[in-house]
Chain A
């Protein structure tokens, strides 16, 4: 009885683990979607930075001069990220605004 349970577990494991190997040519992992996910995360982080900088300015931690300078630099970074995202060939899509 015990042995049966063990054999079933082993069989399940082998099935699950070898699935990608058995699907052979049908196995396609969009390389792009990974790079896209990474870029989107970087873009969201950049947007968060821009918003936080503004909050820092408005709560009096930054002089206007410093704020404008840093804001410009951050937005330039954001533009670069958007360009790279576009270059991946798909439409921009809504920013997910995660956290």
Chain B
């Protein structure tokens, strides 16, 4: 099916180019049938790309090693689920996923808006198809997923065991959905600029997609953090690595945009800002996709110098130049309709929030590209590490959380000091009380920044609780419902507002978790003998026993060997549970190594032992001392090479299994000392809980209200009153 796959990609490229032409021709000549044809080209593009992707996935699932890509990233010992995800671990496969998602989201967008934004939509279509054409060209000419391996190898290289985690199926599609969904408002902004239709309608039309992009990208980022925490052997969730930063930056500007677009909708202000912000978000999304593949920055995701750096750079330059040119030439249409009435207003808070978020993005950008910046200025590459990032981000994060608490409590246009006092006094008191309590009783004063964050998180929670309470009270006076029902109908009728407030709560909880787990974490690297104990963060951890296990693969061969440990945790004598942590050793297919040592020269991954709790996490990783087993391993190799000729392949496999079994048993029975990394970290779970709350809030905000108006009478009344007002 290689030829079919290639043909699909070529066809996709042709369709994309046609889509650009038809949309532009239709828009400029006013012949709507060409615009409609361009729209259908998008649907066709999505269909053809899905087909190409299906062909590729099918090849992975049946381990068709005539596909070079399959041979390079999967193997017969790879479990089925990971065969399906292996396609995403390759450059070609992930590019294909990117453009498939672009096609699907673009189709959805154009279908849902086929009767809206008539003038702007064709240009937006052309921009989206432009992206599609770019990615399809890369796939057709530079990095084709459909390359033939002839003769087909008998076994594939296999999937990097670090990527064998369920998150690996979700993390790339989430990130790419975020990036491609941000292409939608980007495209509409370009279209709005070209057609000079710069009122709020392009924002309104793309709003659900902007929100969805923000949601998906956020999920992608947090999944990456969780994967790092639970899968890798270092115990952290964020390393300020360039690739991590690349996905966070568009999310920050996207968050800023979600707020400032409300100002444009309400007051016709900030038009230039909004357009620039979403254009920057689109550029950052492509930059993120580029950073991962170009090799221009040192990163743990070091996908070395590939052939794609230059094309992406050209695309980014074109995007930036085009955006700047359009904004400058449309300056007169981008004038604000109104001015900021007062610094004490929700508009001002949103503006400040935007400045903080863009500031954060700028700081992260500066730090990420610092090696290149310093090289340009001083001639030598220098880099900044996590300590610098943490130091500069903390004040901005504090400001952000503070603003997210004030925003819900302040009115549009102009708020009086009296009003502010009414709305912010109690929450402020709560914040001070929390700070005092934590400082006095929990020793939180050791880290002023963390204490400040706890206080501000409490502030936000108090503000939102107060808002909900007051809203419920209003609802009850109007409808007489019981409190729970009033709450539900209040939220249902004001989804965006209360969805947004829920997001703020989630963010506050998340930042509290980050503050606690950064400032009050205790980590120890220690070597232990079986039976030995050590102390971490007030807990006693005992290396109870060693474990050794062979893990078979679905095809009967051996997938990996696990050497591990059982750790018993106790606090002041009372047991707190057991942690089971392992190191998995995967074999390499290097023929120069003996059959036993092959297992210990391949990849090794940590299976983290984690006891998560609402108050604290206990995290452990083990590094068994393989060096001490070398004599036995060498012995095993020798025995095998001696007997190699005399045994049949089945007998060899059987004997190998027996020998390895013996090795693992002897490790478990008489283990050498192992090194452990042990971490006691407070409130880490709050990060994941906070993220879930943020996601739920986003869901509430984006959920469409039921079509039949719950109170049609009121709405019609409003209309009638409005008309009567007009006549009076």
Contact = CB atoms under 8 A, between A and B. Distances in A.
B616 interface: no
B626 to A, nearest CB: 48
Contact of A95 (B4, B116, B709): B709
Given A6-B4, A97-B707, 10 more contacts: A2-B1, A17-B37, A20-B33, A21-B34, A27-B33, A38-B116, A48-B496, A58-B474, A60-B422, A63-B419
Contacts of A17: 15, 18, 37, 40-41, 44
Interface in A1-38: 2-3, 5-6, 9-10, 12-13, 16-21, 23, 27, 29, 31, 33-35, 37-38
Nearest to A34: B118
B201 interface: yes
B715 A97 contact: yes
- CB-based closest 4 A-B pairs: A97-B709, A20-B36, A79-B726, A59-B470
A61 B413 CA distance: 11
B423 A52 contact: no
Contacts of A33: 115
B725 A50 contact: no
A41 B48 CA distance: 33
Interface string B475-494: 00000000000000000011
A68 B282 CA distance: 41
Given A52-B497, A55-B494, A61-B410, A94 B722 contact: no
- Contact residues of A: prevailing secondary structure: helix
Contacts of B314: none
Interface of A: 2-3, 5-6, 9-10, 12-13, 16-21, 23, 27, 29, 31, 33-35, 37-38, 41-42, 45, 47-53, 55-56, 58-63, 66, 70, 72, 75-76, 78-79, 82-83, 92, 94-99
A93 B410 CA distance: 35
A63 B723 CA distance: 25
A45 B413 CA distance: 18
Contact of A96 (B32, B707, B716): B707
Interface string B259-278: 00000011000000000000
B471 A98 contact: no
A87 B439 CA distance: 65
Contacts of B43: 16
Contacts of B440: none
18 contacts: A6-B11, A13-B11, A16-B40, A20-B36, A20-B37, A35-B118, A59-B474, A61-B409, A61-B411, A62-B415, A62-B419, A75-B721, A78-B718, A79-B722, A79-B726, A94-B712, A95-B709, A95-B719
B321 interface: no
Contacts of A34: 115-118
Given A56-B411, A96-B707, A45 B7 contact: no
Contact of B725 (A3, A23, A75): A75
B92 to A, nearest CB: 20
Contacts of B413: 66, 70
Nearest to A99: B705
Nearest to B466: A59
B704 interface: yes
Contacts of B44: 12-13, 16-17
A87 to B, nearest CB: 14
Contact of B204 (A45, A72, A78, A92): A45
A63 B709 CA distance: 29
Given A13-B15, A37-B115, A94-B716, A59 B37 contact: no
Interface in B400-441: 409-416, 418-419, 422-423
A55 B40 contact: no
B422 to A, nearest CB: 5
Contacts of B409: 61
Interface in B698-724: 703-705, 707-710, 712, 715-716, 718-719, 721-723
Contact of B412 (A56, A82, A96): A56
A9 B52 CA distance: 11
Contacts of A78: 718-719, 722
Contact of A82 (B47, B117, B722): B722
Given A62-B419, A76-B725, A76-B726, A9 B495 contact: no
A18 B18 CA distance: 11
Contacts of B496: 48, 99
Nearest to B414: A66
Interface string B137-168: 00000000000000000000000000000000
B614 interface: no
A35 B44 CA distance: 27
B4 A2 contact: yes
Contacts of B18: 17
B705 A10 contact: no
B603 interface: no
Interface in B185-217: 200-201, 204-205
Most A C-beta atoms less than 10 A away, residue of B36, B51, B117, B497: B36
- Which of B18, B115, B471 has the most chain A CB atoms closer than 10 A to its own CB? B115
